[in-house]
Amino acid sequence: MDVRAKVFAEYQSVEELRELLDKFRGERLLHIGSGSNLLFTGDFNGVVLHSAMRRARCTNEDAEYVWIEADNGLVLDELIDQLCDMGISGLENLSYIPGEVGASAVQNVGAYGVEAKDVIDSVRALKISDGTERIFTNAECKYGYRDSIFKNDLRGLYVITHVTYKLNKHFEPKLDYGNLRSEVDEHPTPMAVREAVIQIRKQKLPEVSELGSAGSFFKNPIVPHEVYNNIAARYDRVPHFEQDGGIKIPAAWLIEQCGWKGKSLGGARCYEKQPLVLVNAGNATPDDIINLAAAICADVKEQFNITINPEVNYI
């Protein structure tokens, strides 16, 4: 999107972050990761903060687990690559998700049957108002589907500076989601699972350097059993996954049934290989993306009586 911020400020330590917070106190602040899950609806009249802290370290280990603390600005996929290379498992299913460590703990990113919350032990954060530091346990983060306390009660109040992951030394692959199991050998390594996930994602998702997108634009809805049963009575082989509180139906399937796959509206397009993804087909404005998303949501609501919501944050 062709939008600008009034100020962009990057820091390389927690102390530098404190200094920036003091310097720009009273300004509108927005801390971002790689920006891969944001849609700026116009110019941002404020300060965009970004971390250049990009290290990871082992803080503890025992016979079963290793605890890895990673800086907020470290690219999540780079961390996963390093861990898989060392044979440390737990994050491999999240390979090739564009974004950084800090944002993964805000969003509770997930893919192929694994969510960040499954392996996050704790989160270290700085309070914006006074620069004090607090450690949040996994339970205190109140994780849900693509959700956390940092997106709700504490939205805009803290900057996550470090995330500690509790990772298993003994590999227990999670291969039951999608066609992942068919893409690996009978006894895979963490790196083999990572490579399979990357291969699958590359087949479905555009490279953002070549075609602008925000990845998966919509959350998968979880509906009551009776809603799923009504749909299953009208359609053959409805993809679905049992969840606490209902049935998850892939938003991509719902969107495709509404005929949006590959279609454009203004400069925005519903990606032809994965309808969950909206792309900048050429000189799209923020309004083009917003209007396309709204039209898709309206059609899914009309056809299935299901509300799908953007995973992307509108700024």
Q: What is the pLDDT of residue 245?
A: 84
| pLDDT for residue 178 is more than 80 | no
The pLDDT value given to residue 284: 92
Handedness of CA 19, 24, 25, 31 (dihedral sign): negative
Catalytic residue, chosen from 95, 124, 216, 269, is: 216
Q: What is the mean pLDDT of residues 32-38?
A: 89
pLDDT number for residue 185: 83
Q: 2 versus 142: which is more confidently predicted?
A: 142
pLDDT > 90 fraction of the chain, expressed in percent and rounded = 81
pLDDT of residue 285: 93
Checking if the pLDDT of 278 tops 80, the result is yes
146 is catalytic: yes
**Confidence band (pLDDT; 50, 70, 90) for 93?**
very high
- Among the options 69, 92, 115, 311, which is catalytic? 311
pLDDT tens-digit map of 144-155 = 988 999 999 999
* pLDDT value for 118: 96
In the structure, what pLDDT confidence band is assigned to residue 212 with cuts at 50, 70 and 90? confident
Percent of the chain clearing pLDDT 70 (strictly above): 100
As a whole number, the mean pLDDT across the chain is: 94
Residue among 89, 100, 124, 146 flagged as catalytic? 146
pLDDT of residue 20: 97
Q: What is the pLDDT of residue 146?
A: 87
What pLDDT sits at residue 209?
80
- Residue of 50 and 216 predicted with greater confidence: 50
Lowest mean pLDDT among 49-53, 168-172, 300-304: 168-172
pLDDT: is 194 or 245 the higher one? 194
Residue 27 designated active-site: no
Q: What is the pLDDT of residue 187?
A: 87
pLDDT at 156 exceeding the cut of 80: yes
Residue 256 pLDDT > 90: yes
All structural domains of the chain: 5-51 (no CATH), 56-203 (3.30.465.10), 210-314 (3.90.78.10)
Instruction: Give catalytic status of residue 311 as yes or no.
Output: yes
Taking the model in full, what pTM does it have?
A: 0.87
pLDDT at position 179: 78
pLDDT of residue 197: 93
Per-residue pLDDT, 176: 83
**pLDDT value at residue 181:** 83
